């Protein structure tokens, strides 16, 4: 039997204790340490999982030859510094979303991982939920046909963040899901971003992103910190079927609709016929694909271990994290230009190597 891999969790704030619990329960991992500048907070996280070595300094973790990997659960502004030091020390890295605070820093992380032959994995946890895994499968099999549009809504109340705007806080979830389920990833050419700051916080609290996709499709993301209700919903429309994901509906997270415009009939019509006749629609059956409920984070840490053992890129590699960052950076450019479309820069070829 292969030995368990040793991992240290960096950061014991919001997400770190959850990571520590999941890693402790995993058959692939041994929780070697929890590292946090707030030693009392680190001890509380360690006690909650039955005990673990607690250290306040990152250097002592990176200098330990027995530690194979680190899992970063710290603010986005610190991801680059921590990850680069860990990769330099020969450690594999799992980092919570977003991969970094800018695309340039993300590219440096991916490039360094590639140079060192190490796994750099983005913790896009939502991508490992059974519903999203099924969405990926259905789209890959052609069940939806050609993608026509993606509409996503992620809204909630009272979670204004001190260090990032609503785009960087909430949109990475939906952007990472789109990148995961679309064949070839989310490859938009430009972004139009509109934000509002009714609370005068100095950052957008409500936001909309619009992105044209290949083949004339359009993706739209709505994020909001000020909604009195909580919504996690995505609609993906295709030429054959439309798929609706409602993450808060535990009884039926996925619904497939055979309902929409009859694109096949429209494509056969002449230009004159398209102008003069009514659009034909179809109204078929609705079904709910069966899903097996599993904890997504358990699959995340298992995938991290598998990628290390098999010396391959993970399903949510650094490259996928870069594609999300490129959209967020372009959105910031669009906001600065009062919503004008901003081109999405492609990651440098040296950084696109799977890592």
Q: Are residues 35 and 121 in the same domain?
A: yes
| Beta-ladder partners of 120 | 93
Q: Which CATH number goes with the domain that contains 261?
A: 3.30.360.10
Q: Are 118 and 134 within one domain? A: no
The DSSP result for 208-252, as a single string, is EEEEE-GGG-EEEEEEESEEEEEEEEEEEEESS-EEEEETT-TT-
Contacts of residue 349, Cβ cutoff 8 Å, sequence gap at least 6 = none
* Residues 354, 314: Cα–Cα separation, whole Å: 8
pLDDT tens for residues 142-157? Answer: 999 999 999 999 999 9
Q: What angle do CA 206, 208, 209 make, to 5 degrees?
A: 145
Q: Hey, is 204 helix, strand or coil?
A: coil
pLDDT in tens, the chain (355 residues): 478 999 999 999 999 999 999 999 999 999 999 999 999 999 999 999 999 999 999 999 999 999 999 999 999 999 999 999 999 999 999 999 999 999 999 999 999 999 999 999 999 999 999 999 999 999 999 999 999 999 999 999 987 888 889 999 999 999 999 999 999 999 899 999 999 999 999 999 999 999 999 888 999 999 999 999 999 999 999 999 999 999 999 899 999 999 766 666 555 556 655 555 566 677 778 999 989 888 999 999 999 999 999 999 999 999 999 999 999 999 999 999 999 999 997 644 334 444 5
Residue 233: the pLDDT is: 98
CATH number at residue 25: 3.40.50.720
**157-161-166-167 Cα dihedral, nearest 10 degrees:** -140
Token pair, residue 233, equals: 């919903």
Adjacent-strand bridge partners of 246: 233
Q: What is the pLDDT of residue 352?
A: 40
Residue 238, domain member (yes or no): yes
Q: How far apart are CA 78 and CA 249, in angstroms?
A: 35
Counted domains in the chain: 2
- Domain containing 162: what range? 127-287
Q: What span, in angstroms and rounded, lies between the C-alpha atoms of 341 and 220?
A: 13
The answer for residues whose C-beta is within 8 angstroms of residue 173's C-beta and 6 or more apart is 97, 124, 126, 154
Rounded Cα gap, residues 231 and 249, in angstroms: 10
Cβ 148 vs Cβ 217: under 8 Å: yes
Tokens at residue 24, please? 């402790």
Q: What is the pLDDT of residue 72?
A: 98
Q: Could you give the CA distance from residue 115 to residue 112 in angstroms, rounded to a whole number?
A: 5
In the prediction, which pLDDT does 281 show?
72
Residue 78 within a domain: yes
* Peptide bond preceding 234 in cis form (omega within 30 of 0): no
| pLDDT value of position 353 | 41
Q: Are residues 109 and 252 in the same domain?
A: no
Q: Are 323 and 187 in contact (CB under 8 A)?
A: yes
Instruction: Assess whether 68 and 132 both reside in one domain.
Output: no
Q: Residue 168 domain-assigned?
A: yes
């Amino acid at each position: 039997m292969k030995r368990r891999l040793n991992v240290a969790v960096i950061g014991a704030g919001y997400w770190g204790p959850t990571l520590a619990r999941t890693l402790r329960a995993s058959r692939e991992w041994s929780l070697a340490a929890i590292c946090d500048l707030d030693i009392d907070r680190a001890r509380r996280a360690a006690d909650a999982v039955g005990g673990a070595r607690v250290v306040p300094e990152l250097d002592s973790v990176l200098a330990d030859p027995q530690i194979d990997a680190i899992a970063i659960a710290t603010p986005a502004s610190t991801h680059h510094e921590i990850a680069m030091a860990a990769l330099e020390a020969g450690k594999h890295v799992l980092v919570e979303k977003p991969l970094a605070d800018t695309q340039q820093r993300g590219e440096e992380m991916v490039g360094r991982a590639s140079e060192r032959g190490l796994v750099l994995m983005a913790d896009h946890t939502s991508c490992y939920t059974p519903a999203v895994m099924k969405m990926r499968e259905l789209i890959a099999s052609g069940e939806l046909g050609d993608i026509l549009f993606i509409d996503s809504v992620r809204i909630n109340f009272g979670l204004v963040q001190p260090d990032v705007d609503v785009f960087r806080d909430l949109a990475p979830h939906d952007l990472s899901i789109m990148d995961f389920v679309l064949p070839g990833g989310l490859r938009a050419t430009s972004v139009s971003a509109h934000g509002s700051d009714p609370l005068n916080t100095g950052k957008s609290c409500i936001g909309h992103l619009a992105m044209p996709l290949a083949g004339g499709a359009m993706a739209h993301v709505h994020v909001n910190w000020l909604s009195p209700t909580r919504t996690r919903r995505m609609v993906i429309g295709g030429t054959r079927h439309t798929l609706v994901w409602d993450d808060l509906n535990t009884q039926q997270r996925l619904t497939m609709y055979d309902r929409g415009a009859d694109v096949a009939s429209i494509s056969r019509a002449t230009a004159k016929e398209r102008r003069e006749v009514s659009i034909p629609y179809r109204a078929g059956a609705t079904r709910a694909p069966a899903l097996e409920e599993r904890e997504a984070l358990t699959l995340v840490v298992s995938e991290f271990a598998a990628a290390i053992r098999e010396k391959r890129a993970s399903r949510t590699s650094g490259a996928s994290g870069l594609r999300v960052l490129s959209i967020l950076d372009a959105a910031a450019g669009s906001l600065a230009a009062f919503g004008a479309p901003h081109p999405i820069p492609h990651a440098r070829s040296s950084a696109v190597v799977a890592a």
